[in-house]
Amino acid sequence: MSNHSSIPNDEIRDACEKLFSANQPTGEEFAKMIDASSNELGFGATGEFPEGKITDDDEGEIQFGVTTKDEKVVLNFGKPVAWFGMTRDQAEKLGRLLINRAKGIA
């Protein structure tokens, strides 16, 4: 994906819709869902800015994985992430991937 930051950004936070309401895993529960070997798989920041910067605290491109575990779709960023941004094409690909992973849950 194009951009991310580990520093919360009020403008981006306020523009986002809340994706979960009830039954959202706690931080500790979510951490248990994520494989500890994520960085070995190449997830995390690349240090590149292929799409430029969105905000002053933008840390650049991030690579992440999408999988399923315990009947949940899990995004593994390999590091703490407050927000991430993407191009329209990337958003469409992520949407299709999330739908495909969700369909694979029994």
Residue with tokens 């190449």: 42
Q: What's the predicted TM-score (pTM) here?
A: 0.69
Is the Cβ–Cβ distance between 8 and 57 less than 8 Å? no
Closest C-alpha among 3, 96, 1, 2 to residue 58: 3
pLDDT, tens digit, 9 for 90 and up, residues 24-46: 556 565 555 555 445 556 678 88
Q: What is the mean pLDDT of the chain?
A: 77
